Amino acid sequence: MPIIAYLGFTVKEYENDSMEHLCALTIYCPKDINAQMTIHSHYLRRIKETGEMIAVYRLICPECGKTIAVLPDFLLPYKQYSANEIEAVMIDAESMSVYDIETKASVRTVQRYA
C-alpha cells in the first residue's frame, strides 16, 4: 500500500515542488521502524481525465530493501482518475442522474463512484 502525502496542490505545483516536499518528510520503514527510508526511483503515472503524466517516487529501506511509493494526495491508490474528479462525480451524483454528470469517466465508472 502506498503512502499518500501532500506534495503539491496541483500537477504543476507537484512538478515544481514535489522533491522539496518529499525531502522534508521523514518516513520510516513499515518493517523496521528504526530505519529511515530514502528516495530510490520513480515511475510514471497518467492522470486519466487530463492525460498528464507525473513521476511517482519510490522510497527504499536501506536495511531490508523494502520499497514503497509516495502518491501525491490528489491521487488515490489503484484509481485512474484524480481524487478531485472522483469527489466531484460523487457530489454531482447526489443531485442528478449518472447519465447527466459531466465527466470523462464512463457511465459504468460513474455508477461505481455514485
Assess whether pLDDT exceeds 90 at residue 80: no
Q: What is the pLDDT of residues 18-74, one digit of tens each?
A: 999 999 999 999 888 899 999 999 999 998 888 899 999 999 999 999 999 999 998
42 and 21, same structural domain?
A: yes
113 and 74, same structural domain?
A: no
93 and 76, same structural domain?
A: no
Rounded mean pLDDT, 71-87: 86
What is the reported pLDDT for 35?
93
What is the reported pLDDT for 41?
95
Look up residue 9 and give its three cell numbers. Answer: 496542490
Assess whether pLDDT exceeds 80 at residue 83: yes
Q: Domain total for the chain?
A: 2
Q: What is the residue-averaged pLDDT of the chain?
A: 89
> Which residues span the domain enclosing 32?
1-80
**pTM summary value:** 0.77
59 and 35, same structural domain?
A: yes
70 and 102, same structural domain?
A: no
By percentage, how much of the chain surpasses pLDDT 90? 47
90 and 72, same structural domain?
A: no
